Amino acid sequence: MRRLLHLTHRHRAPSVNLALGVVLAFIAGAINAGGFLLLQRYTSHMTGFASQLADGLALKDTALAWTAAGAICAFTAGAALTAILVHLARQRGARAVYAMPLMLEAALLILFGLVGSQTLLVSNAYGLPGTVLLLSFIMGLQNAVGSKSSRGSIRTTHMTGNVTDLGMELGKLLYRLRGSAAALSVSVDGGRLQRSASLLVAFVTGGTLGALCFQTAGFIFVVPLATVLLALAAAPLVRRSRRSGH
């Protein structure tokens, strides 16, 4: 219980940020891979949608542009809501300031699992499936939790920055093997190396498991993912109820 409380606490250490980041990267990988199998779209990062928006505008393909714009707006709205919820929690003096966004993410995942199969083929007036908007919103919500809790050093829904950091630190490590005075003067950031590698492994592991489980079990696989998030978010409430009971 104490470890769960630390993961959503307002006062944080780098090790706590990494622990939360690994959990969220695993979940993001699972949702991203499962979403691709079900929707043929990756929704955890916006690079592809930004390029799709540019292509749609250039080709005057309205459906393509609206799909991309909708996903980007949903992701942005999710990130904005996380910022609002965290600041409201801080204003009220709450300790677990990241609990509410995680609880909301869990609820939306359950919603996705319950209605996903019915809404998968249902599109709005612009041909945009509601599930794409929902998953993009969830990913924006989650990515902002990892970013805000670590002051921008941890991203959990996309791996470009993590792979870049991993490559740079491995490059410096290989350069040091030259053994010259100049090479040995180059310092390797062990913390960044560990962080980027851990997040990448967690994302890939989650993606692999998510692809397998969504393929075999379908939408019901969101239940264990949501349960993990609920455990993180509910820990402060359980502790508070225990204290009030005494």
Q: Map out the domains of the chain as residue ranges.
A: 2-245
Per residue in 174-225, pLDDT tens?
888 877 777 777 788 888 999 999 999 999 999 999 999 888 887 788 889 9
Whole-number Å distance between alpha carbons of 129 and 135 = 10
* Domain 2-245, CATH class in plain words: mainly alpha
**CB distance 198 to 19 below 8 Å:** no
Q: What local confidence, expressed as pLDDT, does residue 27 receive? A: 93
Q: What local confidence, expressed as pLDDT, does residue 48 receive? A: 86
Whole-number Å distance between alpha carbons of 150 and 14 = 7
Nearest to 216 by CA among 70, 85, 33, 65: 33
Can you read off the two tokens belonging to residue 17? 């940020």
Q: What local confidence, expressed as pLDDT, does residue 221 receive? A: 84
Query: For residue 22, what are the CA distances in angstroms to 123, 148, 195, 206, 246?
Result: 34, 15, 9, 10, 35
Q: What local confidence, expressed as pLDDT, does residue 124 receive? A: 47
0.95 exceeded by pTM = no
Q: What local confidence, expressed as pLDDT, does residue 97 receive? A: 83
Whole-number Å distance between alpha carbons of 46 and 140 = 9
Q: What local confidence, expressed as pLDDT, does residue 182 receive? A: 72
Q: Facing residues of 123 across strands?
A: 129
Residues of the chain with pLDDT under 50: 1, 121, 123-128, 241, 244-246
